[in-house]
Amino acid sequence: MVELPYGSVPYPVHLGSRTASILELPRPPAPPPLAGLLDVALAHPLGRPSLDRLVAPGTRITVVVSDATRDEPRSGFLAALRRALPLARWTIAIATGTHGPSALEPLGIDDELRRAARVVNHDGHDESELVTLGTTTRGTPVRVHRCIVDTDLVIATGCIRPHYFAGFGAGAKAVFPGLGQAHAIRVNHRWKTDPRAIAGSVDDNPCRLDLEEAVAMLPAPVFLLNGVCGNDGAVHAAIAGDPVVAFREGARLARDWFVVRAPRAPLVIASDALPITASLYQAAKIASAVAPLVEPGGTLLLVAECAEGVEPLETVNEAIFRIGVLPRLADGVSIQLVSSLSTSVVERTLVHSAASIGDVLARVPGVILIVPHASHLIVEVTS
């Protein structure tokens, strides 16, 4: 029996007489203490002066942290920055992108800091708080929350790990699309259809280059503090400094921790841990990551509880699956979903409802490839 991450509890896979290959990276050694990694990174920034040269007492800083759809050590980032910047005037901005305002309690932000700082819970649909900065050379309108315009310094936090069309998460991505207008974000995300917009690709990735150009339009300097995650989800290194120079170093460190190689299979069963399996919106990352591994005419089985549902449905169908997932699949591949959702709900999407993993195993013959922690993998197909 194999147990797959699914939701609040694992999902058991009973293979019966069939065998399967399991594609999983070896776990790295235990990570060093986070505080030490972050303090060292801040003391040795790449491509930017140190914070003590950028920030004087009373300087207005806006620190960008991820929303609850990302599993990140927000409190650790904020604590490290407080040690470095005890006299700054703080705004904490929650980067929600197109998701809408985030619940604050799950973010782990220290109560004392929340009381002392202004907290901006970004809403990319609220035009009253947005400012236009221009248009990128690739045609993306740059419209962002005013908290990263009316400030002296922007500090972007986040964790560098593979992202299925931006190459890697974090870096400038925390600022835009993190604090961007919903429509502008969708324009940038159209670049996910480009064959260079894949996990692990940075230097020639048009989506990544476009968002970095957008962030460069901010009037205030942007300083990066990023953790570099291993495939266990923990932070194993940290970088700080320029949002392009430092990020490139973090991506270089991360890449080797996530590359996997395997041949194609007629049935690929893929899952991941929460929060990726919380909704179909997020579970699309699983499908995109393993899409190259499914043979033409094969089946991709997503195992994701999706307790938070499939909404916003048009976005999930058109902006994510239609242009971001389906083009990555070989001809004739079917996407099946094992979840807690009713068949009637799933059938409104571009995937098909499966009663159970056992049901799919009974219908699909041939080689089985199981990918338990799929969403952040950089897949290389072997012959």
**What phi, psi does 87 have (nearest 5°)?**
-110, 10
CB atoms within 10 A of CB 244: 19
Burial readout 139-177 (b: 16 or more C-beta within 10 A, e: otherwise): ebbbbbbebbbebbbbbbbbbbbbbbbbbbbbbbbbbbb
pLDDT tens digits, one per residue of 203-231: 999 999 999 999 999 999 999 999 999 99
pTM here is 0.89
Whether the link from the prior residue into 312 is cis, omega within 30° of 0, is yes
Q: How many CB atoms lie within 10 A of CB 134?
A: 11
Q: Which pLDDT value is given to residue 373? A: 93
Domains of the chain with CATH codes: 2-25+259-381 (3.90.226.30), 34-255 (3.40.50.11440)
- pLDDT recorded at residue 370: 98
pLDDT at 113 over 90: no
pLDDT tens by residue, 329-370 = 999 999 999 999 999 999 999 999 999 999 999 999 999 999
**Predicted local distance difference test score (pLDDT) of residue 59:** 94
Residue 1 has what pLDDT? 85
- Token pair, residue 232, equals 């266990």
Q: Which of 81, 163, 63, 160 minimizes the C-alpha distance to 120? A: 63
Six-digit token string for 307: 């307790």
Q: 182-189 vs 206-215: helix axis angle to the nearest 10?
A: 150
Whole-angstrom distance, CA of residue 304 vs CA of residue 287: 11
What mean pLDDT is predicted for residues 38-55?
Answer: 96
Q: Tell me the pLDDT tens digit for each residue of 64-83.
A: 999 998 889 999 999 999 99
Phi/psi at 323 (5° precision):
-105, -15
Q: In the prediction, which pLDDT does 141 show?
A: 98
Burial class (CB in 10 A: 0-12, 13-18, 19+), 50: middle
**225, β-bridge pairs:** 157, 240
Q: Is the model's pLDDT at 112 over the cut of 90? A: no
Asked whether residue 110 carries a pLDDT value surpassing 90, the answer given is no
Comparing CA positions, the residue from 201, 199, 155, 150 lying closest to residue 178 is 155
DSSP E strands, the chain: 2-4, 11-13, 21-22, 60-66, 89-95, 118-121, 130-135, 141-145, 153-160, 162-163, 167-168, 222-229, 235-241, 259-262, 265-271, 294-303, 334-338, 352-353, 368-371, 378-381
State the pLDDT at residue 379.
94
How far are the Cα atoms of 216, 225, 322, 325, 353 from residue 248, in angstroms, in the given order? 16, 13, 30, 26, 40
pLDDT at site 376: 87
pLDDT of res. 383: 79
CA dihedral 288, 291, 292, 296 (to 10 degrees): -150
* pLDDT score for 116: 85
Average pLDDT, the chain: 95
How far apart are alpha carbons 80 and 78 in whole angstroms? Answer: 5
Judged on CB neighbours under 10 Å (0-12, 13-18, 19+), 222 is buried
Looking at the chain, the whole-number percentage of residues with pLDDT higher than 90 is 90
pLDDT digits (tens, 9 = 90+) for 128-178: 999 999 999 999 999 999 999 999 999 999 999 999 999 999 999 999 999
Q: What is the pLDDT of residue 206?
A: 98
